[in-house]
Structure formats: C-alpha cells, structure tokens
Chain A
Amino acid sequence: MSTVSTITEPGQEYPAPARKNLLLDAWLVLFLAITFGTALAFVHVKLSPIVQANIRNETLSLVPVLVGSPEEFDIQELSQVTPSGESLSFFHVTDKEAKGLGWVITASSIGFADRIQLLVGLDESASQILGIRVVDQKETPGLGNLISDPEFRDQFEGAPTAKPLSIVKSAPAEDHQIRAVTGATISSVTVANAVNQAVLNLKYYLESNPS
C-alpha cells in the first residue's frame, strides 16, 4: 500500500508549476493525447466491424438450430412492441421459397441471482416449442446453472403450447409439464415462465400481423 499512497499524492511532493508555463508544461500530455487518440481511432475503425459481427453472430448462429437446423434458410429480423410496452425481437426463419419454417424469440426473466436470457424456437403456427437455449445467466454454479444443460432444456422440445408450461418436482405426467432442476426450483420456474411469456408474445404478434 505504501507505493500507492506516495504516487497518488503528487501535489504534496512537488511545488505547483508557475501559471505561465502551464501550456508549455503540458505539451507532452497534449502530444500523447493526440497520439493515443489517433491510435484508438485506428483500432476502432479496424476492429469495430469484427466486434459488431461477433455480437450479431452470437444470436444468429443459434437461430437455425432452434427450428430444427434446416439446410437452406433465410432469417428475417422483426420487432414488436407488446401491450405492456416492452420491445421484443423476433426472427422468422424461412426456406429459400419464403415458406415459413418457424420462429425464434428472445425471452428473459429475473431468475434466482440475475436476469436469465433465453432464445425460444417455435413452429410456424406457434403451437409447438421446437427448442430453447439459455443465452445468458448468472445462476448458482452446480445448481441453477444446470438450466443450460441439455438434460433440462431438451424437455422443452416438442412441448405443445395450448396450455402454459408448468414445473413439477417429480417425473412429469403430462406433456406440458417440465421437471425442475433439483435444488433450483426458482431458476427452473423462471425459465418456464419466460418461455410461456415468449409463446404469448408470439401469439400476440401473429394475431396483430396476420399474414
């Protein structure tokens, strides 16, 4: 700590500069600022397209997987404002003849620790869930973070959307029931609720935009 305390109190060790020399003294700082400014501008121009592409690919690479990995497809990005004022983004996956293959919707809800973000894949008529993926979560390692595991998420595949999904703690008896991750009921319920909300949002979208 001693090093830190000496370096952060420069004013006490050295006399303040005379006022007239201020600009002359600061020429090095100005010169460095301009040099680094140029360097940063260069870095920005070079790297920001790659960064932007990374951010987009992160979502887009999952989209076809969630509608059954078709070999040829087009992705359309759509957005919609829900009655509650949230803005949602949708992906409509179509084949080359513009025939719809399914929908992928972003969904999120507050879990045990922080917000859980999901992508939900649904078929063309929003009657069946094709798959889910957890995009971002900070749940407890070893318990809540198992919601990202195939064991939990594969239960959603093929679930009908006629009834909202519910979480059970034993082996599910009906196909709208999902077995919770042991020791992480809150995280599991959060995922189910987010998926249910995503289904409602898509149905709302399909009703308000009949094709």
Chain B
Amino acid sequence: MDTIISLFLIFIGAALINNFVLHYFVGICPFIGVSRRVDMAFGMGCAVTFVIAIAATLSWTLTFYILRPDAPLSAWLWKALGGNPGITVDLSILSYIAYIFVIASSVQFVEMYVKKFFPALHRSFGIFLPLITTNCAILFACLEIMKNLQGGDQLWGLHHALALSVGGGIGFTIAIVIMAGLREELELCDVPKALKGPGIALLVAGILAMAFMGFTGVDRGVADAIRTLTHN
C-alpha cells in the first residue's frame, strides 16, 4: 500500500503540483513557441510523454547499474579487471553526457519505429520528434531520477522513475494544451502592440501558474484519505 501511495504522490506531484512547465519551467520553448493550435500541442505532448518514459527507463537502468556510486555492474567490472576493491567506483561524472546521448538516441529510435510501423501517427506528430532532443523536460526527468539514486535511505526503483516521467509528460501535455487553447482565443483579442506574441503568452502563463499553485497540498490530502480508508 505504501508503495502505491508513494507512486501516487510522485505522479500527482509531477503532473499537477510541481508541474514540469509551470513550476520547474522545463520545456518552455515549445510551450511559448509551438503552442498555437490545440491539436498540434496535443501531438507534441504525446510525443514528449512517449519519449520521456523511454528515456527515463533507459537512464534509470544506466544510472542504477553503471553510473551511480558503487553501482553493481561497474563495481563488478572494476573487480574483474583487478582494481583495488577498497575504492568505490563512481562514474557519476559521466552521467550528463550519458543522459544526453540516451535522449538523442531514444528520440532517433522512436522516430524510426513510429515511421515504420505507424505511418499515420508519424504524419500527425512525427515533425515534433526531432525537436524533442532539445526539450529540457526530458533531461530534467533524467536528472531527478539521478538525484534519487545518489544514496540516502530510499533509492528509487524503476516504478518510481516511470511514475515521475509519465506524470511529468502528462503535466507537460496538460499545460501545453491549456496554453494552446488560450492562445487560440488570444488571436481574436486586441492585445497592446508591444505585448503581441510571446509577451502576452508569458503573462497568461503567469496566471495559469498561479492557478496551478492551488494544487499544493492536494497530494497529501488524498494520500491521507487513502491511508485512513485502508486502515478502517
């Protein structure tokens, strides 16, 4: 039960309370630049969610078995090569390089796969795939996973990593779709000339972020409710 609650907390935290876009400001470029039509925004959101889940799985595996301090695979290799067993093997200095290549290659892989097996899907949101490599949301998810694998009492499992990344991807989709809807309406408004385009988009995003602040504490309330229900 506790595992389910903790997964739920991570998921809600990433999707709503600490929304990737409106709280952590990752994935802002497409949020301001691309989100002008709801259907395009939704396509972009789906593509990001898909890639983020794959990149998170890969980077969790890589971090857990190879990159983190005293990781099993690299420690074993160190011993097999006759290294001093007293030294803790720590490859975490390579993590940033490793993550960016994991992201780039999973984007490539997803694009090839989707193009070959789901041509219709590729036509609808394939154009967003190459853009995703420079989307900070994905690297941010990898970094959060790394932070929770650096030691301490509770290391994240793959399920935690997936909860965070899927939650983050859904949070990104929610934010970008709402924003696109608002901007479709803004096209019809008489905006002061200096604020046209990104200016007004940022102001609207600010108000949206205020609204999302209202979610603070929701996770704990719901978790408490689940706990009392299961105890009774």
Contacts and interface: CB of A to CB of B under 8 A. Distances in A.
Are A and B close enough to touch in the complex, i.e. CB under 8 Å?
Answer: yes
B93 A44 contact: yes
A46 to B, nearest CB: 11
Interface of B: 18, 29, 33-34, 90, 93-94, 97, 130-131, 133-134, 153, 216-217, 220
Interface of A: 1, 4-5, 8-9, 36, 40-41, 43-44, 48, 86-87, 110, 112-114, 186
Contacts of A36: 97
A1 B93 contact: no
A1 B94 CA distance: 30
Closest 8 CB pairs of A and B: A1-B33, A8-B130, A44-B93, A87-B153, A9-B130, A40-B93, A8-B133, A8-B131
Contacts of B130: 5, 8-9
A5 B131 CA distance: 6
A128 to B, nearest CB: 28
Contacts of B216: 112-113
B216 to A, nearest CB: 6
A41 B33 CA distance: 39
Nearest to A44: B93
A38 to B, nearest CB: 12
A141 B34 CA distance: 32
B133 A43 contact: no
Given A8-B131, A40-B93, 10 more contacts: A1-B29, A1-B34, A4-B134, A5-B130, A5-B131, A9-B130, A44-B93, A86-B153, A112-B216, A112-B217
A186 B33 CA distance: 38
Nearest to A45: B93
A114 B18 CA distance: 10
B94 A40 contact: yes
B217 A186 contact: yes
B93 A4 contact: no
Contact of B29 (A4, A87, A110, A112): A4
A44 B90 CA distance: 10
A43 B93 contact: yes
Nearest to B216: A113
A113 B90 CA distance: 32
Nearest to B17: A113
Contacts of B33: 1
A41 B92 CA distance: 11
Contacts of A1: 29, 33-34
A40 B18 CA distance: 33
Contacts of B18: 114
A110 B134 CA distance: 33
Contacts of A40: 93-94
